[in-house]
């Protein structure tokens, strides 16, 4: 079995949305959905750009899809070829190459394309036609403006040019950001060439009378730039296309492959013992590595990566809790970029806190450019009334600020590098702590501080008090703020100046007492109560709650959701807490919490299974850990995960699961721990695995970790 390639035979239009995700090519700057070159918008083609947003009318703001480069449609004897007699498509995870073979009857088409990892603006396609019969072949090749948007359109004022270099320019509607696409075509066969230019785009039409058995091939090179990249995106795109054509497809492909080899050298987990699981792990690592912002030092990764516009292209807590671990252990410069995004969007978090009447930094739940809040007050549509439902994600999920402080502290703990703290990270931690001081619900007649009216990771229970996960994140934030003085003990003047800059003297004095008084959760028979009053909710089985649904697309949470008055939860909450703070729980307490909460968890989020798997490793439930690992790692191979929240489409790839698969393998099965550059192993290998091996970076040095049935070892790498 090839553990580096996903293949699918046959073609069904109903599968197009999922296939576009599974067969995605991406390079951090853009994502090219995995659909055939000739696909129309009913098959959900898109070239999604990272960090470029637009809002049309009063619809949700979302990422911009660029003009669709590498469009190729074949005609034979004057008729467009649309019937797939046989079809095969595949994705090479090793090198990020999408391929397809299609039997159209009179011709057979084979192609391979990629989004260059060697240069983020470049796309390339090698398209070959084998003629089964004699006739008139025509290939329409170019840039299509028939753009699929969920909440668009987003591009306006199109300008097209059909010359030696095809060009399409437009601007976004909201901020008038210029977006430019260019394309060059090199045909390896003599043909009659005609430029085509209309409202549908800019193309070449290549015509040739072909003989039976004749082979015709072409290479297409495309480039996309926006005004965010420089002052003249159209000229930059044209220049890159010219350069790529002069180098040729094979040279561009070789550079792309070499770049991917460098990524795998730094991040690949070798898993032996189960080839299907090894394929799923390669898929997970591919999808997360493919969307990493290597072209910038201050961008993060959205909840659906670059697979499309769902979740508004927003940055969630996934970035710090699920993406960050793989990168900080393998490619810390990317982890640093994720955190620099938060540092540079601190003004947006300060603004949001002020809008709610608080001080400090209240980060956006769905962060878009500049830290702007993309989350609306009505994030779900009722499937019965078709009316928007008031949700409280943007208002009450205050753990987001603590999640960011947690990642900043983890970066220092794992790398030993405090430069990021000094470059704004310390300020973020202090402002997050200030927000929680401002947000606390203190009682004059008691010793404890509550945090009321919040939502934890389990979104089925809204507006609860003292969510265990949230309160622990707040405690950690306060602890991290106080620790800064120790971290910078050799630079007391710098730290004192920072406190003065932030006018922090009064807040600094409050932190120790506030830390002591934060309400700790109730524990019953070793089980930590998820929030005040959780144990008093209806205790019924998952299937009993599921049976109450009147429509499979119903939202389970909120005021009227079937789960809201029960103990059934959406995703790991206390168990997520246990995974992030294992030192807080004895093995017996972990076992009790796992046994209690797992049967009561719907796993309605792709963020859930990996947290349960990490805890299952520690409590010795290795069969369960393996099951949950496969659930996590398989998700972008099999196409699992929820596609709808109410009437809102939420499909796409699952970067949080991709990162979760790495966490289970490295931190769970291998039991890797890194503290201030020191590595230790505490293996928990399931019976299905005979060997794990993977590189890590710690304390500025590279190490190779290997775990087998005989035990584990760590050796330095050259």
Residues noted as catalytic: 459
Alpha-carbon dihedral sign for residues 280, 281, 286, 291: positive
Contact criterion met (CB below 8 Å) for 41 and 150: no
> Cα-flanking dihedrals φ and ψ of residue 141, to 5°?
-125, 130
Q: What's the full length of the chain, in residues?
A: 718
Q: Strand (E) positions, 413-453?
A: 441-442, 449-450
Contact criterion met (CB below 8 Å) for 530 and 470: no
Tally of CB atoms within 10 A around 298: 16
Contact criterion met (CB below 8 Å) for 182 and 234: yes
Helix/strand/coil (H/E/C) assignment for every residue in 552-597: CCCCCCCCCCCCCCECCECCCCHHHHHHHCHHHCCHHHHHHHHHHH
> Cα-flanking dihedrals φ and ψ of residue 711, to 5°?
135, -165
Report the Cα 651 to chain-centroid distance in Å.
Answer: 12
Of 145, 146, 142, 249, residue with least CA distance to 206: 142
How far apart (Å, rounded) are the C-alpha atoms in residues 436 and 444? Answer: 18
How far apart (Å, rounded) are the C-alpha atoms in residues 466 and 533? Answer: 10
How far apart (Å, rounded) are the C-alpha atoms in residues 536 and 524? Answer: 12
> Cα-flanking dihedrals φ and ψ of residue 177, to 5°?
-80, 125
Q: What is the secondary structure of 244-276 as a DSSP string?
A: HHHH-HHHHHHHHHHHHHHHHHHHPPEEES-HH
Tally of CB atoms within 10 A around 228: 16
**Cα–Cα separations (whole angstroms), residue 156 to 23, 61, 159, 232, 250:** 29, 16, 9, 17, 35
The kind and range of the H/E element at 695 are strand 691-698
The three-point CA angle 266-272-277 to 5° equals: 90
**Cα–Cα separations (whole angstroms), residue 136 to 79, 206, 382, 432, 645:** 10, 11, 53, 67, 48
The three-point CA angle 499-500-501 to 5° equals: 90
């Amino acid at each position: 079995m090839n553990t580096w390639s996903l293949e699918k035979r046959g073609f069904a239009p109903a599968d197009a949305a999922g296939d576009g995700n599974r067969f995605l090519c991406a390079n951090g700057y853009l994502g090219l959905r995995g659909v055939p070159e000739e696909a129309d918008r009913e098959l959900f083609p898109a070239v999604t750009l990272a960090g470029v947003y637009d809002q049309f009318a009063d619809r949700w703001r979302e990422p911009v899809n660029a003009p669709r480069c590498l469009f190729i449609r074949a005609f034979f004897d004057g008729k467009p070829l649309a019937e797939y007699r046989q079809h095969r498509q595949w994705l090479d995870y090793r090198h990020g190459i999408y391929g397809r073979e299609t039997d159209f009857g009179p011709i057979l088409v084979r192609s391979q394309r990629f989004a260059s990892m060697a240069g983020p603006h470049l796309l390339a396609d090698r398209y070959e036609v084998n003629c089964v019969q004699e006739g008139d072949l025509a290939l329409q090749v170019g840039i299509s403006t028939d753009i699929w948007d969920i909440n668009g359109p987003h591009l306006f004022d199109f300008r097209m040019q059909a010359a030696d270099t095809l060009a399409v320019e437009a601007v976004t509607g909201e901020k008038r950001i210029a977006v430019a696409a260019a394309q060059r075509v090199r045909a390896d066969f003599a043909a009659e060439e005609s430029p085509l230019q209309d409202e549908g785009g800019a193309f070449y039409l290549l015509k040739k009378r072909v003989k039976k058995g004749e082979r015709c091939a072409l290479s297409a090179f495309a480039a996309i730039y926006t005004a965010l990249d420089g002052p003249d995106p159209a000229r930059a795109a044209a220049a890159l296309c010219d350069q790529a054509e002069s180098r040729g497809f094979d040279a561009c492909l070789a550079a792309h492959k070499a770049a991917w080899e460098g990524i795998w050298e730094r991040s690949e987990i070798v898993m032996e013992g189960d080839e299907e699981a090894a394929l799923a792990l390669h898929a997970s690592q591919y999808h997360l590595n493919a969307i990493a912002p290597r072209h910038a030092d201050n961008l993060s990764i959205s909840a659906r990566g670059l697979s499309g516009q769902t979740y508004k292209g927003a940055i969630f807590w996934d970035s710090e809790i699920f993406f960050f671990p793989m990168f900080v252990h393998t490619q810390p410069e990317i982890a640093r970029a994720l955190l620099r995004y938060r540092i540079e969007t601190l003004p947006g978090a300060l603004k949001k806190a002020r809008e709610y009447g608080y001080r400090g930094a209240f980060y956006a739940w769905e962060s878009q450019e500049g830290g702007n809040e993309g989350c609306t007050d009505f994030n779900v549509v009722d499937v019965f009334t078709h009316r928007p439902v008031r949700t409280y994600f943007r208002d009450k999920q205050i753990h987001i600020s603590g999640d960011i402080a947690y990642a900043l502290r983890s970066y220092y703990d794992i790398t030993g590098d405090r430069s990021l703290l000094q470059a704004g990270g310390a300020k973020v931690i202090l402002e997050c702590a200030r927000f929680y001081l401002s947000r606390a619900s203190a009682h004059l007649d008691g010793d404890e501080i509550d945090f009321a009216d919040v939502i934890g990771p389990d979104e089925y229970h809204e507006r609860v008090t003292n969510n265990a996960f949230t309160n622990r994140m707040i405690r950690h934030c306060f602890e991290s703020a106080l620790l800064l003085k120790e971290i910078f003990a050799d630079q007391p003047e710098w730290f004192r100046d920072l406190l003065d800059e932030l006018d922090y003297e009064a807040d600094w004095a409050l932190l120790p007492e506030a830390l002591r008084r934060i309400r700790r959760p109730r524990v019953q028979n070793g089980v930590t109560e998820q929030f005040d009053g959780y144990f008093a909710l209806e205790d019924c089985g998952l299937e009993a709650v599921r049976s109450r649904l009147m429509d499979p697309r119903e939202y389970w949470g909120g005021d009227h959701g079937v789960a809201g008055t029960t103990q059934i939860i959406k995703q790991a909450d206390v168990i997520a807490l246990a995974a992030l703070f294992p030192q807080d729980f004895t093995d017996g307490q972990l076992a009790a919490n796992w046994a209690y909460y797992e049967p009561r968890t719907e796993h309605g989020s792709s963020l859930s299974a990996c947290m349960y798997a990490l805890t299952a490793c520690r409590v010795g439930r290795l069969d369960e850990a393996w099951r949950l690992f496969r659930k996590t790692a398989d998700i972008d191979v099999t196409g699992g995960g929820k596609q709808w929240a109410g009437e809102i489409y939420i499909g796409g790839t699952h970067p949080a699961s991709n990162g979760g698969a790495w966490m289970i393998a490295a931190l769970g099965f291998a039991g890797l721990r890194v503290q201030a550059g020191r590595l230790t192993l505490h293996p928990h290998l399931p019976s299905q695995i005979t060997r794990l091996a993977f590189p890590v970076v710690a304390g500025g040095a590279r190490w190779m970790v290997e775990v087998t049935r005989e035990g584990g070892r760590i050796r330095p790498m050259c």
